[in-house]
């Protein structure tokens, strides 16, 4: 048994003591004891808790591996997430104004990927236990919208239909305006009788659509509202994690874009930003996934009263829009995946587009790309940290850049 004092929280949410020793479920300032093996104290006893520790609000928190930070007070997590962005920027010699963090409330996640496995008695669906492939049922999960937690019987039924006792089924459920949108992977191919059973399950559980790998069964178009438009994303396509997080990011993006008449939306997805912005500006939406741009375009065509939205399928890592293509825009929105947008930001920097709204889910690559823009004459005016992955270590943000 050894005793250590936690100094800081790591990027995965573990407490870190000198050594370093990684101690899950602990907070800075706590004295903990336990057996250290390979730089890790897997089962710590908290000797001296800190006042930032709280009783996890969810009854599943002890066993479920879905959340990492339920044992920490909200204001601690807010400061920690803001600090992660601040430190990433500081590593490049940057600092700026931080607006108060926007945190999504409990039960707000509109999408969850559940795991399911057949058992001797039936099936079990839920999230994985901490650090294990064992599945725990989470009927009272406080993270996801209630429709999702209530749909665990559907996930179990899907597993009974086409899962096995050996392999796990993965079922991603998204709340859409017209019912649940399910995407199943890891199941066996269904025969015609099983397909009819799948349709019956979809009807009984209020699904708008079920995609069984590449086979898509649509009962109603699984719509998502994007401003005045209604979009039907391809099964499993990227969506912002919570409606509240999306509202916060869109609010920041709209403010940054301001009165720009012509906007380029880079890594546009299905139009989360492009379609609402089209209420005031012409928008060119660029995205690498063809099916997503088709969904965006259809949503725009069916909507009333929007300005022109054009779409382009393009790999912005290999073939970024070059500066000469970008100078016609008054503002750019850029929302890349975790890898960031190194090549594209070099071109934005060369083009000196007057305003840039940069949305990011990775503070490290964001800070690298921000440094490129600042070196080229941009000012980083402010950052809005958005926490739509409550109780996890994920950090998202929107940032405002203007060209001097």
Q: Kindly name the residue from 64, 207, 270, 361 that is annotated as catalytic.
A: 361
CB 12 within 8 A of CB 393: yes
- Provide, rounded to whole angstroms, the least separation between the CB of residue 367 and ligand SAM: 17
Nearest CB to ligand SAM, comparing residues 52 and 174: 174
Which of 298, 348, 301 has the alpha carbon at shortest distance from 322?
348
The least distance separating ligand SAM from the CB of residue 317, rounded to whole angstroms, comes to 4
Closer to ligand SAM at the Cβ: 4 or 351? 351
Helix spans in 213-341 (H): 243-257, 274-277, 290-302, 323-326
Q: 158-173 b/e with 16+ CB inside 10 Å = b?
A: bbebbbeeeebbbbbb
Active site residue 67: no
Q: Which residue of 135, 268, 278, 281 would you call a contact of ligand SAM, by CB under 6 A?
A: 268
Q: Write down the least CB distance from residue 330 to ligand SAM, Å.
A: 19
Q: What residues between 342 and 401 interact with ligand SAM by CB under 6 A?
A: 361
Give whole-number Cα distances, 329 to 75, 257, 377, 399, in Å. Answer: 39, 11, 17, 18
C-beta closer to ligand SAM: residue 25 or 269: 269
Q: How far is CA 302 from the centre of its chain?
A: 27
Q: Are 330 and 262 in contact (CB under 8 A)?
A: yes
Cβ-based burial of 236 (10 A; exposed 0-12, middle 13-18, buried ≥19): middle
- Nearest CB to ligand SAM, comparing residues 62 and 338: 338
Structure tokens at 175: 């709340």
Cβ proximity to ligand SAM, 242 vs 272, nearer residue: 272
Residues of span 302-331 touching ligand SAM by CB under 6 A = 315-317
> What span, in angstroms and rounded, lies between the C-alpha atoms of 382 and 183?
38
Q: Residue 77 Cβ, how far from ligand SAM at the closest point, in Å?
A: 22
Based on the shown chain and the rule CB under 6 A, indicate whether residue 287 belongs to the binding site for ligand SAM: yes
CB of 235 to ligand SAM, least distance (A): 14
- Applying CB under 6 A, which of residues 323, 337, 350, 376 lies at the interface with ligand SAM? 337
Tell me which stretch binds ligand SAM (CB under 6 A): 32-40, 57-65, 282-290, 389-397.
282-290
In eight-state DSSP terms, residue 236 is T
Q: Name the DSSP class of 281.
A: S
Q: Phi first, then psi: what are they for 243, rounded to 5°?
A: -60, -35
Task: Give me the active site residues, please.
Answer: 361
Residues near ligand SAM (CB under 6 A) are 238, 240, 267-269, 272-273, 287-289, 292, 315-317, 335-337, 361
């Amino acid at each position: 048994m050894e005793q250590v004092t936690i100094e800081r929280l790591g990027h995965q949410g573990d407490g870190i003591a000198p050594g370093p020793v990684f101690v899950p479920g602990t907070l800075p300032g706590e004295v903990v004891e336990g057996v250290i093996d390979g730089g890790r104290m897997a089962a710590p006893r908290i000797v001296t808790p800190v006042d930032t520790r709280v009783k996890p609000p969810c009854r599943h928190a002890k066993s479920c591996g879905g959340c990492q930070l339920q044992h920490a007070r909200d204001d601690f997590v807010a400061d920690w997430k803001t600090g992660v962005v601040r430190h990433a920027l500081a590593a490049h010699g940057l600092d700026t104004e931080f607006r108060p963090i926007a945190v999504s409330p409990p039960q707000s996640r509109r999408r969850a990927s559940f795991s399911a496995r057949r058992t001797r008695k039936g099936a079990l669906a839920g999230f994985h236990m901490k650090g294990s492939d064992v599945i725990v049922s989470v009927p009272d999960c406080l993270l996801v919208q209630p429709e999702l937690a209530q749909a665990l019987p559907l996930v179990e039924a899907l597993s009974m239909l086409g899962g096995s006792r050996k392999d796990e089924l993965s079922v991603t459920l998204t709340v859409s305006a017209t019912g649940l949108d399910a995407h199943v992977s890891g199941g066996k191919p269904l025969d015609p009788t099983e397909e009819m059973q799948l349709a019956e399950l979809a009807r009984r559980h209020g699904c708008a659509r079920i995609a069984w790998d590449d086979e898509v069964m649509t009962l109603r178009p699984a719509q998502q509202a994007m401003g005045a438009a209604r979009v039907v994303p391809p099964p499993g396509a990227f969506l912002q994690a919570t409606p509240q997080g999306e509202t916060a990011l869109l609010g920041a993006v709209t403010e940054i874009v301001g009165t720009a008449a012509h906007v380029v939306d880079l890594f546009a997805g299905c139009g989360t930003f492009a379609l609402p912005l089209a209420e005031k500006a012409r928008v060119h939406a660029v995205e690498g996934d063809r099916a997503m741009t088709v969904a965006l375009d259809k949503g725009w065509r069916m909507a009333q009263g929007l300005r022109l939205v054009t779409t382009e399928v393009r790999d912005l890592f290999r073939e970024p829009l070059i500066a000469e293509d970008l100078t016609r825009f008054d503002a750019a929105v850029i929302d890349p995946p975790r890898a960031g947008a190194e090549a594209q930001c070099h071109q934005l920097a060369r083009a000196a587009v007057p305003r840039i709204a940069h949305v990011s889910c990775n503070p490290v690559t964001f800070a690298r790309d921000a440094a490129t823009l600042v070196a080229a004459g941009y000012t980083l005016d402010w950052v809005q940290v958005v926490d739509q992955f409550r109780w996890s270590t994920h950090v998202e943000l929107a940032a405002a850049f203007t060209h001097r």
